[in-house]
Chains A and B, each alone.
Chain A
Amino acid sequence: MAMMSSGGAFFLGFIVSTCTFYLFPMEAPLYKNLHKLDMLVPSMNNLKVENESLNWKVGGPALINLEHPHLKGKDSSVADDIYNKVRILCWVMTCPSNLEKKARHIKATWSRHCNTVIFMSSIDNPSFPTIGLNVTEGRDQLYWKTIRALHYLEQHHLNEADWFLKADDDTFVIVENLRWILANYTPEVPIYFGRRFRPFIRQGYMSGGAGYVLSKGALQRFVEGFRTNVCSHTSSVEDVALGQCMEKMGVQAGDSRDSLLRETFHPVVPEILLAGKFTRSLMYRIYCYYPTVEGPQCCSDLAVSFHYVSAELMYILEYYTHHLRAYGYQYRYNPRLPDNYTRLLAH
């Protein structure tokens, strides 16, 4: 092997290194990374939604919303006013194995728009937080869970809210639209709303999965029903059994449709209602209390809920509802606040 001088070796090393850099596209990843650095700075400024961890006050197992999410560029004065006059406590039916899979995404999306949210489970979990209702898990325990949950709310949270919304951990809710519907009613009156189904109960009952909301008066009647043995654990089919108790205790089954008589609570995902033939099925038509509508008028612009929503779809619906829009677009449907709203007091 020929002996090279040190200088020659140095020079050779320099050339090899330079060639390596240009033969293999090292500069491309470098450029990309620089680009990413540029992107990092603007993304910090993108945090227009106020830091949500500062906005929750943890009241035991309840998350009390101090300042619901506000978005840049929106005039939210009406929403802010109605927030204080139509207070909604959301309780989410979940279980220990679903906390990370499902409940966590509800905590990060729509439940931030409630006045208070409580996650109901079978076991206490102070860090999530959830309440343990002293039941075992399983479909046959659903009505026990509901009974215990409603008793818990009546005992500990009755005066914190005007309305009490139940949702499953795969229900997506647009709480602002629920407030618009409920603004037409007085919370002391015993009434409840949801996706009204016809079978089994004369006045109908509300689908469990689509979510249902009880007035303060209705919650008090429910608890009283159990106290006086008018109501009891008649079956494990939670929504039908609750509907039975409601009817027995004189709680009215309300009509939650919008002013154009379009449904607001939905028992399935939007795709099925808007694009599928589901609404034509006999089963669906038998179950629905009101006449079914196929196509785009199946669903109100001011939709309140959807069911069987995956984690991914929770965020997609949050994006569609609260973020994505057509700039400058004048909506076809522009309902007012109901007359009764002027009689409601702020808290």
Chain B
Amino acid sequence: MPHAPAERVHKMYSEGGSFMKGMLLGGIFCIVATLLSSFNFGHQQHTDHHNHHHVNAPSKEELLRLPEHKRIELSQNIRVYCVILVEPKDLAYWAAVRETWSKHCDKAEFYSSEEVKVFESVSVETKDPWIMLRKALKHAFDNAKDHKWYFIARPTTFAIIENLKYLLLNKDPDQPFYLGHMVKSGDLEFIELSGGIVLSSEALKRLVGVLGDSSKCPEQGRMIWKLPEDKELAVCLKYTGVFAENAEDTEGKDIFNAKSVNSLINEAMAQTPQEVAESCCSDVAVTFNGHSPNNMHVMMFGVYRLRPFGHKFHDSLVFLPPKDSDND
């Protein structure tokens, strides 16, 4: 009897020990399972031709493989239609976009929640961001079929269309492309609107095809709560077999950015202080987000004019400055 408590304690320890061993093994099992599943994911990237999750800008070698006349033909024929979604409260940004980067789109159309006297726009007569996006894309599809690529942005984004064309040069618009700064939210991979969304002709066609299907792509969204419009877009596109892909330059840097240059520079100042300007961002970045209207004018100067004398780029494409413009 006097040994019983000791025995009980001993038994408790051994059970506790077994319990802990069980926890440990369970933990290891979970880690291994996660690792394996992510490796499978990685493996998939190489096997699927189009279902991989990132696209790259063409390398110099890839471009030089195309004959020169073909490259010139492509530079001239690749046409980007810009869909810019605005509201009256965005007036200062709207003005800056009109005076800066939108001049480099082959056609830029501003889709506004309501008619605004100061600037020309297509009014979609709704304040709901998802319905606005749907209507704008339907309008773009109906009116701009000859443009093979569609670039969607808010006026807080700054875009360099030449770099977008460079990315798209060797991609077939009759394939379903949905590109930009990709974010994973739970199971859903979507392109952030603030970094700009690129849709190929085929992707837009499929989207318009499913817009009328209220079981797959309803106006009020599929969830009880409202999802942001860029997530709703991803869900609808997924139904049509179009998946989001992150776009990177030949060195693996993101070319679509949902942050501003200032923000990225500050991060680089903390992480890689000896090579901040070299590592913060891509040389051929397409978008940045969150610059003030004044800073958009500075970026226009920085991209299209400011440079150090004595360096030449033997680029494989040629883009001419737009007519009736003097800040580029």
Decide: B317 and A327 in contact? CB cutoff 8 A.
yes
Decide: B307 and A328 in contact? CB cutoff 8 A.
no
Interface size class of B (residues with CB under 8 A): 35 or more
Known: A6-B18, A322-B308. A299 touches B315 (CB 8 A): no
* B166 contacts chain A at the CB level, 8 A cutoff: yes
**Docked CA distance A330–B315 (Å):** 10
Q: Which residues A163-206 have CB closer than 8 A to chain B?
A: 174-177, 179-180
Known: A6-B14, A296-B301. A26 touches B30 (CB 8 A): yes
Q: How far is the CB of A85 from chain B (nearest CB, A)?
A: 11
Q: How far is the CB of A129 from chain B (nearest CB, A)?
A: 17
Chain A residues within 8 Å of B252, by CB = 39, 42-43, 45-46
Known: A9-B22, A11-B22, A13-B21. A326 touches B311 (CB 8 A): no
Decide: B275 and A320 in contact? CB cutoff 8 A.
no
Decide: A323 and B278 in contact? CB cutoff 8 A.
yes
* Residue-wise interface mask of A (50-76) relative to B, using a CB-CB cutoff of 8 A (1 in contact, 0 not): 001100000000000000000101111
The number of residue pairs between A and B whose CB atoms lie closer than 8 Å in the complex comes to 258
Decide: A315 and B22 in contact? CB cutoff 8 A.
no
Chain B residues within 8 Å of A76, by CB = 310-311
**Docked CA distance A253–B281 (Å):** 40
**Docked CA distance A275–B276 (Å):** 26
Decide: A109 and B277 in contact? CB cutoff 8 A.
yes
Decide: A13 and B306 in contact? CB cutoff 8 A.
no
Q: How far is the CB of B44 from chain A (nearest CB, A)?
A: 14
**Docked CA distance A74–B321 (Å):** 21
Chain A residues within 8 Å of B303, by CB = 320, 324-326
Q: Is the interface of A mostly helix, strand, loop or mixed?
A: helix
* B265 contacts chain A at the CB level, 8 A cutoff: yes
Decide: B308 and A323 in contact? CB cutoff 8 A.
no
* Residue-wise interface mask of B (1-31) relative to A, using a CB-CB cutoff of 8 A (1 in contact, 0 not): 0000000000100111111111111110111
* Residue-wise interface mask of B (149-164) relative to A, using a CB-CB cutoff of 8 A (1 in contact, 0 not): 0000000000010110
* Residue-wise interface mask of B (27-53) relative to A, using a CB-CB cutoff of 8 A (1 in contact, 0 not): 101110011001000000000000000
The contact of A78 among B29, B165, B298, B310, by CB within 8 Å, is B310
Known: A10-B19, A26-B30, A326-B304. A332 touches B313 (CB 8 A): no
Q: Which residues B229-284 have CB closer than 8 A to chain A?
A: 251-253, 261-262, 265-266, 268-269, 273-281, 283-284
Decide: B294 and A276 in contact? CB cutoff 8 A.
yes
Decide: B310 and A180 in contact? CB cutoff 8 A.
yes
* B220 contacts chain A at the CB level, 8 A cutoff: no
* B124 contacts chain A at the CB level, 8 A cutoff: no
Decide: A274 and B298 in contact? CB cutoff 8 A.
yes
Known: A31-B34, A296-B327. A323 touches B277 (CB 8 A): yes
Q: How far is the CB of B253 from chain A (nearest CB, A)?
A: 7
* A34 contacts chain B at the CB level, 8 A cutoff: yes
Decide: A315 and B269 in contact? CB cutoff 8 A.
yes
Q: Which residues A295-347 have CB closer than 8 A to chain B?
A: 295-297, 299, 301-303, 311-312, 315-333, 335
Decide: B313 and A73 in contact? CB cutoff 8 A.
yes
Decide: B15 and A9 in contact? CB cutoff 8 A.
yes
* A270 contacts chain B at the CB level, 8 A cutoff: yes
* B89 contacts chain A at the CB level, 8 A cutoff: no
Known: A297-B326, A324-B285. A21 touches B27 (CB 8 A): yes
Q: How far is the CB of A276 from chain B (nearest CB, A)?
A: 7
Decide: A3 and B274 in contact? CB cutoff 8 A.
no
**Docked CA distance A45–B38 (Å):** 24
Decide: B38 and A34 in contact? CB cutoff 8 A.
yes
Known: A27-B34, A31-B38, A76-B311. A17 touches B277 (CB 8 A): no
Q: How far is the CB of B170 from chain A (nearest CB, A)?
A: 13
Q: Which residues A1-59 have CB closer than 8 A to chain B?
A: 3-7, 9-18, 21-22, 26-27, 30-31, 34, 39, 42-43, 45-49, 52-53
The contact of A332 among B277, B308, B328, by CB within 8 Å, is B328
Q: Which residues B78-137 have CB closer than 8 A to chain A?
A: 104
Q: How far is the CB of A310 from chain B (nearest CB, A)?
A: 10
* B314 contacts chain A at the CB level, 8 A cutoff: yes
* B293 contacts chain A at the CB level, 8 A cutoff: yes
Residue of A nearest to B272 (CB): A43
Chain B residues within 8 Å of A330, by CB = 318-321
Chain A residues within 8 Å of B304, by CB = 326, 329, 331
Chain A residues within 8 Å of B285, by CB = 324
Q: How far is the CB of A257 from chain B (nearest CB, A)?
A: 15
Chain B residues within 8 Å of A230, by CB = none
**A52-B275, A324-B283, A327-B162 known; 14 other A-B pairs, CB under 8 Å?**
A14-B22, A30-B35, A48-B251, A79-B310, A108-B273, A176-B311, A180-B310, A296-B326, A312-B262, A322-B308, A323-B278, A326-B162, A326-B163, A329-B321
6 residue pairs of the A-B complex, CB under 8 angstroms, read: A16-B23, A18-B29, A113-B308, A312-B269, A319-B261, A327-B317
Q: Which residues of B contact A (CB under 8 A)?
A: 11, 14-27, 29-31, 34-35, 38, 60, 75, 104, 160, 162-163, 165-166, 251-253, 261-262, 265-266, 268-269, 273-281, 283-285, 293-295, 297-299, 301-321, 326-328
Give me the 9 closest cross-chain CB pairs, A-B, nearest first: A13-B22, A17-B26, A79-B310, A320-B302, A176-B308, A328-B317, A42-B252, A275-B294, A21-B30
